Copies of this chain bind each other. A is one copy, B any other.
Amino acid sequence: MSESLVQRRARLLGPNVPTFYDAPLHIVRGEGVWLWDADGRRYLDCYNNVPHVGHCHPKVVEAICAQAARLNTHTRYLHEGILDYAERLVARFSGSLETVIMVCTGSEANDIALRMGQAVTGKTGIVATDNTYHGNTATVSQLSSKKPPIGGYAPNVRRVPSPDSLRPLGGSAEGQAQVFAGHVSEAIADLEASGQGFASLILCPFFANEGFPDLSRGFLDPTVEVVRRAGGILIADEVQPGFGRLGSHWWGYQRIGIEPDVITLGKPMGNGHPVAAVVAKPEVTGAFREAFGYFNTFGGNPVSCAAAMAVLDVLEEEDLVSNAADVGSYALQRLRALQHPMIGEVRGAGLFLGVEFVGEGLAPAPESTARVVEAMKARGILLNRLGRHYNCLKIRPPMPFSRENADMLVDALAEVLAEMPK
């Protein structure tokens, strides 16, 4: 018997390397919102946000090829690529978010952002939500460790309960914003009392990994006030909601109505090319560079900048942010028309949508959600699940997703739900 791909993976990549789905997919080709497996079967990609402007978008591929053939080197030489990109990027931000540090991954970006908070305040404490994910470096992964790292949890991290639509903190949707701010305030007081001091609050302004609860604009106002009063800085991790995914705004922080000091960018930025960035106020970037120094060999290289620039070009030329708003609201409306007792809530914004499945008394239904994901895959529709209880469908397709694609998704979901026990 020849060795299977799964066996080769275990041998070469080590044990416990996760794959999606009960029977992992062997994907060999991508185009737009479509993926093909090795048997030639086509799948509608309703999950991947990295190929932001569509799998293998020819403009992005062309930009990468052209620049890779001309020059690829580091930022200790001058090059227009990084400057032209940075200029174009910061123009998309409000306020004084005017400086950019280019890196390769969202993890590297958040690793810098946390140090920015420390550089500005001279303190080390970090507050994050308790069901988040900001990356995989030793420092950043402390924010999301489900089990204690070797040596124990870092003494400078506090986790606060994340907001929820169906089970609001404090028991009522109206009071949730104040209750959340109260938790942040307690965490800050605890950091100050412990001698770490408070440096920053980091959060995804869409609370993506928390299951993107339905929160109204202004929800974070009391929290921001608490952070400002304590002299800390506010970091918005835009790796998931950023680059127009939410349709109504280019960035998640604009939708919820806050003004962060630091923004981190990642996954969709280069359509799959490893590029990420930190956008910050000049004084924050200056304090970081002064306190820590920093150089990233690959960060801001001409090819990465060309890839990232092409993504901006395509977003604008194909009007994909408007598309996200249009198709997103169409899909949301169609999802809300679905009838099944398991549906606890349908929510989301733009092309980041979810359906939360529950049992009796709003009890999370992760197993049923997993069955829906598998049944959708069997019908050629790729999505996944997330949230504290993994009971929320994660629908987050490439941005050229059309109304026709949305129909295909919702029709298949209706069929799958019809076969689920009521």
Contacts and interface: CB of A to CB of B under 8 A. Distances in A.
A50 interface: yes
B29 A71 contact: yes
Interface string A3-19: 00110110111111111
A25 B272 contact: no
Contacts of A114: 138
Most chain B Cβ neighbours within 10 Å, of A25, A29, A136, A303: A136
Contacts of A30: 70-73
A33 to B, nearest CB: 13
A333 interface: no
Given A71-B56, A137-B139, A118 B14 contact: no
A137 B294 CA distance: 9
Contacts of A100: 12-13
Interface bin, chain A = 35 or more
Copies in the complex: 2
Interface in A90-141: 90, 98-101, 104-108, 111, 114-115, 118-119, 122-124, 136-139, 141
B78 A27 contact: yes
Contacts of A271: 72
A301 B286 contact: no
A285 B139 CA distance: 19
Interface stretch (A79-87, A225-233, A351-359): A79-87
Interface of A: 5-6, 8-9, 11-20, 24-30, 35, 48, 50-51, 55-56, 58, 60-61, 64-65, 68-80, 82-83, 86-87, 90, 98-101, 104-108, 111, 114-115, 118-119, 122-124, 136-139, 141, 146, 149-151, 156, 196, 266-267, 271-275, 282, 285-286, 288-298, 300-301, 303-304
